[in-house]
């Protein structure tokens, strides 16, 4: 004969103070874990949305980011006529020579300033990023000191709002537009005219990288091999998808720290649940004896106390989800492999919340199995005599 679940629910309600304190301890553990998962999910979504499998980033041999790469105009002329590169409607190769650097801007969170990616590119570079659109203002004009900022930049950096002026290079630059790149990393960049930006940076001939678009998936693989094997070009080619995936390495320390803190807190929460259930067993000895007299088996009592511990931890898991849910959609930034800030939003998905509740239930299962066994092993007469 099984003990009804209502018995366990009633006990949790009767011991509401102890129940709440234990559940809150577990909730904090779950909240730390879920916040870390939401951060990594949001960052991963941003980076996965940034790359195109048909596009290839070409950099100097040995360079892992555009910021530290050099690419001359002569090399670009050799590159853009390689077989497999797609053509634009006007017949020109879909290849964009670009210069990438960082500038320092004061942000809402960091008044002393953060590094922000500045990218100089030509109109074909914008055309090769079809997800880009202007949400306010207009695109910059060729040959002018005008820039367009990503929506995350406009939101997080007051000095980079539409109509403001930025100072870098040899003078001031007008912010004439705000671009929306969906969830991609371009929301964290500033775009300007290639020739004007490179001239201001005194890098008219030696730029950073090139972006080329292949005609199809087969051509993309062949183009990658062709560029990497070209001794005369002496460049390193990597798919745009892979390039942005590599930037997740910047989140590795946060991931490891989050896991470490979660493990420490999980151990503490498991012992808290265990102590709570041990105390419950000690206080309810007569109750346990009465259950045995009424005909409930040792197995039923063990299972009942085990379920009660899991329910207690499950409540903590739900509270943990409620604690972390306000983070959903909150925009933050993290340093990337390009030494600039990459903005993204926390994503608290249903899968993440389910994982939190399951994690909490496992804590309760571990913390409840030994007290439940102790309750089940109590002798009837001994249990009835205990106060």
SS (H, E, C) 366-382: HHHHHHHHHHHCCCHHH
The model's confidence at residue 260, banded by pLDDT at 50, 70 and 90, is confident
Identify the sign of the CA torsion 197, 199, 203, 205. positive
Domain match, 110 and 14 both = no
Angle at 143 between CA 90 and CA 73, to 5 degrees: 65
Domain that holds residue 350: 5-48+250-385
Asked if residue 275 is part of any domain, the answer here is yes
Angle at 40 between CA 237 and CA 33, to 5 degrees: 155
* DSSP β-ladder status, 235-239 and 209-213: unpaired
Domain match, 282 and 141 both = no
Q: What percent of the chain has pLDDT over 70?
A: 86
Full-prediction pTM beyond 0.75? no
* DSSP β-ladder status, 171-180 and 146-150: parallel
Asked if residue 308 is part of any domain, the answer here is yes
Domain match, 35 and 151 both = no
Domain match, 59 and 207 both = yes
Helix axes 285-293, 298-324, angle to 10 degrees: 130
Domain match, 164 and 197 both = yes
The model's confidence at residue 254, banded by pLDDT at 50, 70 and 90, is low
- Average pLDDT, integer, range 117-122: 93
- Average pLDDT, integer, range 329-333: 70
Average pLDDT of the chain, as a whole number: 83
- Average pLDDT, integer, range 165-175: 91
Asked if residue 237 is part of any domain, the answer here is no
The predicted structure's pLDDT at residue 255: 63
Q: What percent of the chain has pLDDT over 90?
A: 30
Domain match, 260 and 300 both = yes
Domain match, 294 and 188 both = no
Asked if residue 229 is part of any domain, the answer here is no
Domain end (from 163, 189, 213)? 213
- 99-103, 169-173, 270-274, 323-327, range with the lowest pLDDT: 270-274
- Summarize pLDDT for 19-51 with one digit per residue, the tens: 888 888 888 888 888 888 888 787 777 766 667
Asked if residue 234 is part of any domain, the answer here is no
The predicted structure's pLDDT at residue 57: 94
Domain match, 111 and 18 both = no
For residue 252, pLDDT beyond 50: yes
- Summarize pLDDT for 216-227 with one digit per residue, the tens: 999 999 999 999
Please state, in angstroms and rounded to a whole number, the distance separating the CA atoms of residues 164 and 141.
Answer: 16
The model's confidence at residue 176, banded by pLDDT at 50, 70 and 90, is very high
Domain match, 75 and 173 both = yes
For residue 366, pLDDT beyond 90: no
Q: Domain count for the chain, please give it.
A: 2
Domain match, 283 and 324 both = yes
- DSSP state string for 252-302: HHHHHHHHHHHHHHHHHHHHHHHHHHHHHHHHTHHHHHHHHHTT--HHHHH
Asked if residue 231 is part of any domain, the answer here is no
The predicted structure's pLDDT at residue 7: 75
Domain match, 21 and 60 both = no
Domain end (from 213, 229, 263)? 213
The model's confidence at residue 241, banded by pLDDT at 50, 70 and 90, is confident
Asked if residue 239 is part of any domain, the answer here is no
Most confident range (mean pLDDT) of 39-53, 116-130, 358-372 is 116-130
Domain match, 358 and 287 both = yes
The predicted structure's pLDDT at residue 384: 58
The predicted structure's pLDDT at residue 337: 47
Domain end (from 164, 196, 213)? 213
- Summarize pLDDT for 8-22 with one digit per residue, the tens: 788 788 878 878 888
The model's confidence at residue 258, banded by pLDDT at 50, 70 and 90, is low
CB 251 within 8 A of CB 39: yes
Residue 237 contacts by C-beta under 8 Å, 6 or more apart in sequence?
A: 56, 57, 58, 59, 223, 224, 227, 228
- Average pLDDT, integer, range 240-269: 71
Asked if residue 331 is part of any domain, the answer here is yes
């Amino acid at each position: 004969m099984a003990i009804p679940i209502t018995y366990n629910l009633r006990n949790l309600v009767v011991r509401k103070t102890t129940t709440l304190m234990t559940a809150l301890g577990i909730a904090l553990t779950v909240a730390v874990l879920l916040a870390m998962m939401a951060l990594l999910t949001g960052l991963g979504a941003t980076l996965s949305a940034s790359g195109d499998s048909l596009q290839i980033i070409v950099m100097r041999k040995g360079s892992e980011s555009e910021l530290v790469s050099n690419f001359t105009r002569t090399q670009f002329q050799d590159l853009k006529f390689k077989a497999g590169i797609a053509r634009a409607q006007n017949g020109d190769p879909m290849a964009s020579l670009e210069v990438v650097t960082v500038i320092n801007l004061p942000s809402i969170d960091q008044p002393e300033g953060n590094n922000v990616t500045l990218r100089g590119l030509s109109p074909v570079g914008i055309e090769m990023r079809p997800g880009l659109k202007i949400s306010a203002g207009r695109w910059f004009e060729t040959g002018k000191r005008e820039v367009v900022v990503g929506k995350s930049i406009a939101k997080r950096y007051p000095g980079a709002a539409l109509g403001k002026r930025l100072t870098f290079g040899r003078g001031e630059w007008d912010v004439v537009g705000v671009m929306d790149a969906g969830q991609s990393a371009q929301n964290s960049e500033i775009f300007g005219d290639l020739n004007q930006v490179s001239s201001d940076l005194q890098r008219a001939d030696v730029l950073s990288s090139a972006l080329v678009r292949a005609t199809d998936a087969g051509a993309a693989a062949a183009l990658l091999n062709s560029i990497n094997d070209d001794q005369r070009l002496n460049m390193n080619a990597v798919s745009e998808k892979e390039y942005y995936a590599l930037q997740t390495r910047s989140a590795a320390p946060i991931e490891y720290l989050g896991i470490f803190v979660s493990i420490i807190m999980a151990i503490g929460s498991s012992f808290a649940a265990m102590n709570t259930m041990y105390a419950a067993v000690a206080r309810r000895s007569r109750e346990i004896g009465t259950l045995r007299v009424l005909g409930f088996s040792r197995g039923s009592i063990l299972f009942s106390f085990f379920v009660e511990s899991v329910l207690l931890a499950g409540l903590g898991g739900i509270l943990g989800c409620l604690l972390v849910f306000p983070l959903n959609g909150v925009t933050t930034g993290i340093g990337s492999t390009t030494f600039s800030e990459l903005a993204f939003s926390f994503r608290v998905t249903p899968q993440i919340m389910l994982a939190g509740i399951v994690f909490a239930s496992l804590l309760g299962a571990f913390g409840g199995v030994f007290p439940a066994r102790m309750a089940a092993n109590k002798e009837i007469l001994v249990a009835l005599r205990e106060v």
